[in-house]
Amino acid sequence: MGISGGFGAVLEGVHTSVAALDALALEDRNLEHSALTAAAGDIDVLQHRYELCLEGLELTARLEAQLAAVKSRQVARAVEFQQAMTPPDASVQDRTYAQMSVVEEIAGVLTLSSAAAGAFVEQSRRVCSLPPVMNALAAGAMSWQHARIVADETEGLTAEGAASLVAHFFDPDTPHPARGAAPGEIVPSRFRAKVRGWRERHHPESIEKRHAKGVADRRMEYTPDRDGMAWISLYLPGDTACAIWNRTTATARGLQGPGEERTVTQLRPDIAASLLLGTKNTTQTGKSTEVGKVPTPRADVLVMVPVFSLLGQTDEPAILDSFGPIPASMARRLVADGADSFYRVLVDPRDGAPLEIGRKNYRLTEIIKRWIRLRDAKCTFPGCTNRTPDNDTDHLTAWEHGGVTGASNLAQLCPRHHRLKHNSRWTPGPANKNEPPGWTSPTGRHYNPEHRDAEPTHWPLAAGLLNAFPDVESALLDTDPQEKFLEPEAIPLDDPLWEEFYSRPFVLPPDPLKDCWNMMQPWP
C-alpha cells in the first residue's frame, strides 16, 4: 500500500456503519414511542427492541474494527511520512533517532508508554503490509485483536511465508483454505491457536530446532501483585506443563467432597504450593492428608501423531490435546514411556484421517467419547474455549426424541452450556464424522462450527520410506530415490501393502533431544 492507498475506502466504511447505527437508533425511538401509547407489556415491541439491541452491538463491533483500521493506517502513514521527510543521505544514527521521535510522538498522542507505542507501530505497519488482513479489518469482518494475532504470528516469517499464512485464512480460492468459521467468527484465543498451529506446520525452521531453543530458555518467574498476592509462572515444555496442570486438577477433584468448601480453582494453587514446599495438604475440616495419597481421577490426554512422524521419517509436528503442535520427538517419547494418561492417535498418511485411538479400553462408550474429543477439541458452543476432560458428550437430538448414539449425533459441551442447551432455544445443527455442529441462537443467528483445520500429512523421502516399508519399492517411479517424494496415490487405498504395513510393530527412532530431557530431570 502507498501512503494514501486504500484510506478513502476505510473511511467510507466508517461512514456507512455510523449511518446504519443512526437508523437503528431512530427505529428504536419510534418503537419506544409506540410502546408508551400501546398496551403495557407489548411482547412484540419488546422482542423487536431486543433484536435491535443485538443488531446495534453487531454494528458497533464492526465500527470499532473499522476505527481500528483507521487508527492503524494513520500510524503507518505517519511513519511513512517521517521516512519520506528524512534526507536520503542521512546517517544511520539520524534515521534511528527520527524513527524514535515519531514513536514517542505517537505514544504522547495516544497516551501510551514508549514500549506499547513501539509495539503498536510495528503491528500497524505489519497489518497494513498484508492487504487481505487490512481489508478484513476495514470491512469490520474481524476485530483489531484478530488482526494483531496475524501480525504477531507472521513476525519472523519471510514475506512468502507471511503471504502463505494470510492466504490460508483469508483467501477462499487458495489451495487447502482454512475450513469452518471465518477468522472474525472465532474468539481471538481460539483464532490464535489455529494460526499458530498452521505456522508450526509450515515454519521454514524445524519445530525440533525451535523446541530445543525453548527448552534451553525454560525458567520460573515471580511477580508481586496487589493485596498481598503474587504470581509464580513456569516456562516449560508443553507436555510437562500439561502433566502438571492435569495432576493438580485431578488432585483437586479428588479432594472435593461434602466437607471441602474450596473450589477447584482455589484448590489448584493450594495443591501446587503444598507439592513444591513439601508440606501436607489440610482440608477445611482439619483433616491432614498426603497429597500423593489422595485418590485422583486420571485426566486422559490424546496425542495425535502422523504415522511417518512416529517412525522418524518426517519431522511433522504431532498434536497434543488441549495444547497444540508439539515436536515429533516429544510425541515419540510420550508413546515410548507408556504414560498412563496419554492416548496415542495415529494419523493415516493416505488421507490425514485418524486411524485408531489407543486400545487400552474396549468399552465402546469410552472409544466414542475419545473420538468426539478428538473431533471437537473443545466445547462446541459458539465462543466457548473450555477444553477440560470434564466436558459432557451430549446427544444433539435427545435420545428420547429418536437421537442415536453415534458421531453424527454427539458433541462436546461444557457443563454450563449443556445446561443452557436444555433450558433455552439455542439449537445445535448436525455433525458428522469429521465436523462438529454449528449452532443457531434464539433470534435465528447461525454460528458456524470451528474446525481443527487438518491438512494432509507429510510424506517422507522415498529412500527413507523404503527403510521402514521395503515392500513399497515396486510402487515407486524410476527416479532418483534421494530426490523424489512418495505421493499417496502411488499406492491404492485398498492395496494389501497398507494392511501389511500397519500390522507391523512400529520401531521408534532415537530421541534427538535426549540430552535436553536428561538435563531436566530432578536432582537426586
Grid cell 539520524 is found at 94
The predicted model gives 12-29 an average pLDDT of: 89
DSSP 408-430: GGEEEE-HHHHHHHHTSS-EE--
Question: What integer pLDDT is reported at residue 31 of this predicted model?
Answer: 85
Q: How many domains does the chain have?
A: 2
What is the three-class DSSP state of 113?
coil
**Which contiguous run of DSSP H or E holds residue 344?**
strand 342-347
pLDDT tier, 200 (very low <50, low <70, confident <90, very high otherwise): confident
Is 24 within 8 Å of 55 (Cβ atoms)? yes
Asked whether residue 175 carries a pLDDT value surpassing 90, the answer given is: no
In a domain, 447, yes or no: no
220 within domain boundaries: no
Residue 221, beta-bridge partner list: 233
Q: Which of 179, 202, 225 is the last residue of a domain?
A: 202
Local confidence band at 62 (pLDDT 50, 70, 90 cut-offs): very high
What local confidence, expressed as pLDDT, does residue 134 receive? 94
Is residue 258 situated within a structural domain?
no
Q: Is residue 118 part of a domain?
A: yes
Given this model, what pLDDT does residue 324 score?
77
Domain ranges, residue 24: 7-202
Q: With a cut of 90, say whether residue 71 has pLDDT above it.
A: yes
Q: What is the pTM for the complete model shown?
A: 0.70
Whole-Å CA distances, 456 to 62, 193, 204, 316: 35, 19, 18, 11
Backbone angles phi, psi at 15, to 5 degrees: -60, -40
Residue 173 identity (one-letter amino acid): D
Nearest to 195 by CA among 149, 156, 132: 149
Per-residue pLDDT tens over the stretch 432-450: 777 889 999 988 888 888 8
Sign of CA dihedral 224, 226, 228, 231: negative
- The answer to whether residue 56 sits within a structural domain is yes
Residue 508 lies in a domain: no
Q: Is residue 166 part of a domain?
A: yes
The 10 Å CB-count burial string (b at 16+, else e) for 130-145 is bbebbebbbbbbbbbe
How far apart are the C-alpha atoms of 398 and 414, rounded to whole Å?
Answer: 17
Mean pLDDT (the chain) is 78
47-51, 306-310, 500-504: segment of lowest average pLDDT: 500-504
Domain boundary among 403, 427, 442: 442
Higher pLDDT, 134 or 494: 134
pLDDT of res. 244: 86
C-beta separation of 285 from 259 below 8 A: yes
The dihedral through the CA atoms of 51, 179, 426, 185 has a sign that is: negative
Strands (DSSP E) found in 225-268 = 230-235
pLDDT of res. 9: 75
**Higher pLDDT, residue 195 or 302:** 195
Rounded CA-CA distance 164/455 in Å is 14
pLDDT, residue 482, reads 42
Question: Checking DSSP bridges between strand 392-395 and strand 410-413, what pairing results, if any?
Answer: antiparallel
Say what the pLDDT of residue 137 is.
95
- Do the strands 427-428 and 439-440 form a parallel or antiparallel pair, or are they unpaired? antiparallel
Judged against a pLDDT cut of 90, whether residue 96 lies above it is answered with no
Last residue of a domain, one of 202, 224, 252: 202
The grid coordinates listed for 192 are 490464535
Angle (nearest 5°) at CA 164 between 162 and 170: 100
* E strand map for 191-286: 219-224, 230-235, 281-282
Is the residue at 456 inside a domain? no
- Which has more confidence, 373 or 298? 373
pLDDT score recorded for residue 502: 61
pLDDT tens by residue, 322-362:
677 888 788 777 766 555 566 667 776 665 666 655 444 33
